[in-house]
Amino acid sequence: MEESMNQIEQLYSEAKDEIEYAEDSQGTTYYHEDLATAGKAVDEVFDAYDKFIQSLPTEDMKKEVKQKVDLKMEELKMAFAALPEESD
């Protein structure tokens, strides 16, 4: 269980970094790739988190983890959503 949370924390940190890279590259030729990479990183965090929640044996454990982690996950989702769409 702790190993899974460590993996989620690592993925979360990487996703935050990728979002920052995309923010920094706005208006450059690299933005398209950075935006895609950030999106993939965010998806990986949510996939790992969802699998972890599903693996927990009791509803109480699921509720406890969600109370501690859902806000961070929502912040990550909002940070990615705040990135502008690509303009051609």
Mean pLDDT by 10 residues, the chain (88 residues): 92 98 95 97 97 96 95 96 82
Per-residue pLDDT at 73: 96
pLDDT value, residue 85 = 87
Q: Tell me how far apart the alpha carbons of residues 38 and 64 are, in angstroms, rounded to a whole number.
A: 28
User: What burial class does residue 27 get, using C-beta atoms within 10 Å of its C-beta: 0-12 exposed, 13-18 middle, 19+ buried?
Assistant: exposed
Q: What is the pTM of this model?
A: 0.91
Note whether 4 and 52 are within 8 A (CB): yes
Supply the pLDDT for residue 86: 75
Q: What pLDDT, on the 0 to 100 scale, is given for residue 43?
A: 98
Query: Does residue 58 sit in helix, strand or coil?
Result: coil
